[in-house]
Amino acid sequence: MTLATKPAASSMEAHDSILNALPHPVVSVSSDGTILDGNAAAEAFFQASIPVLQRHALRELVPFGSPLLALIEQVRDRGAPVNEYKVDLGTPRNGAERVVDIYVAPMPERAGAVVVMLQERTIADKMDRQLTHRGAARSVTALAAMLAHEIKNPLSGIRGAAQLLETSVDDQDRTLTRLICDEADRIVKLVDRMEVFSDERPVEREPVNIHVVLEHVKKLSQSGFARHIRFAEEYDPSLPPVFGNRDQLIQVFLNLMKNAAEAIGDHTGEGEIMLSTAFRPGVRLTMPGTATRVALPLEVCVRDNGPGVPDDLLPHLFDPFVTTKSSGSGLGLALVAKIVGDHGGIVECDSQPRKTLFRILLPMARVSHGDINGRKAL
Instruction: Kindly report, residue by residue over 78-111, the tens digit of the pLDDT.
Output: 888 888 777 878 776 655 567 788 889 999 888 8
Whether 141 and 230 map to the same domain: the answer is no
Residue 30 is predicted with a pLDDT of 94
Residue 369: pLDDT band by 50, 70, 90 thresholds? very low
Q: How far apart are CA 295 and CA 317, in angstroms?
A: 25
Residues 242-271, mean pLDDT to the nearest whole number: 87
Q: How far apart are CA 317 and CA 257, in angstroms?
A: 15
Q: Which of 120, 155, 174 is the last residue of a domain?
A: 120
CATH assignment of the domain containing 105: 3.30.450.20
Q: Which residues are CB-contacts of 235 (< 8 A; sequence separation ≥ 6)?
A: 211, 214, 275, 276, 277
Q: How far apart are CA 361 and CA 190, in angstroms?
A: 29
Whether 192 and 225 map to the same domain: the answer is no
Residue 36 is predicted with a pLDDT of 93
Residue 287 has pLDDT above 60, yes or no: no
Residue 1 is predicted with a pLDDT of 37
Q: How far apart are CA 262 and CA 327, in angstroms?
A: 12
Whether 225 and 361 map to the same domain: the answer is yes
Dump strand ranges (E) for 66-113: 82-88, 99-106
86 close to 99: Cβ distance less than 8 angstroms: yes
Q: What is the pTM of this model?
A: 0.54
Percent of the chain exceeding pLDDT 70 equals 72
Residue 234: pLDDT band by 50, 70, 90 thresholds? very high
Q: Which of 198, 219, 244 is the last residue of a domain?
A: 198
Q: Which of 167, 198, 229 is the last residue of a domain?
A: 198
Residue 274 lies in a domain: yes
Whether 272 and 240 map to the same domain: the answer is yes
Q: How far apart are CA 161 and CA 142, in angstroms?
A: 29
The alpha carbon dihedral of 203, 253, 370, 344 has a sign of negative
Residue 367: pLDDT band by 50, 70, 90 thresholds? low
Q: How far apart are CA 190 and CA 329, in angstroms?
A: 8
Residue 39 has pLDDT above 60, yes or no: yes
Enclosing domain of residue 174: 128-198
Residue 7: pLDDT band by 50, 70, 90 thresholds? very low
Q: Could you tell me which residues are beta bridge partners of residue 149?
A: none
Residue bearing the bigger pLDDT, 290 or 218: 218
Determine the length of the chain. 378
Calculate the dihedral angle through the C-alpha atoms of 308, 312, 314, 320, rounding to the nearest 10 degrees. -120
Whether 224 and 260 map to the same domain: the answer is yes
With b meaning 16 or more CB within 10 Å and e meaning fewer, what string describes 256-278?
bbbbbbbbbeeeeeebbbbbbbe
Residue 5 lies in a domain: no
> Rounded to 5 degrees, what are φ and ψ at 79?
70, 25
Residue 116: pLDDT band by 50, 70, 90 thresholds? very high
Residues 37-66, mean pLDDT to the nearest whole number: 89
Q: Which residues are CB-contacts of 24 (< 8 A; sequence separation ≥ 6)?
A: 41, 117, 118, 119, 120
Residue 269: pLDDT band by 50, 70, 90 thresholds? low
Q: Comparing C-alpha atoms, which of 211, 222, 277, 274 is closest to residue 246?
A: 211
Q: How far apart are CA 86 and CA 104, in angstroms?
A: 14
> Helices 332-342 and 122-147 sit at what angle, rounded to 10 degrees?
110
Residues 207-220, mean pLDDT to the nearest whole number: 94
Residues 292-308, mean pLDDT to the nearest whole number: 83
Residue 27 is predicted with a pLDDT of 93
Residue 38: pLDDT band by 50, 70, 90 thresholds? very high
CATH assignment of the domain containing 165: 1.10.287
| Tens digits of residue pLDDT in 59-85 | 998 888 888 998 899 899 888 888 877
Which of 178-187, 257-266, 297-306 is the least confident region? 178-187
Whether 145 and 280 map to the same domain: the answer is no
With b meaning 16 or more CB within 10 Å and e meaning fewer, what string describes 138-161?
eebbebbeebbeeeeeebeeebee
Residue 260 C-alpha from the chain's centroid: 15
Residues 157-161, mean pLDDT to the nearest whole number: 83
Residue 291 is predicted with a pLDDT of 52
Whether 288 and 311 map to the same domain: the answer is yes
The alpha carbon dihedral of 8, 12, 17, 19 has a sign of positive
Using CA atoms, how far residue 169 sits from 73, 157, 373, in Å, is 83, 19, 69
Which of 23-32, 138-147, 168-177, 291-300 is the least confident region? 138-147
| Tens digits of residue pLDDT in 316-365 | 787 766 666 555 556 778 888 888 888 888 888 888 888 899 999 898 88
Residue 2 has pLDDT above 50, yes or no: no
Q: Comparing C-alpha atoms, which of 128, 117, 149 is closest to residue 288?
A: 128
Residue 110 lies in a domain: yes
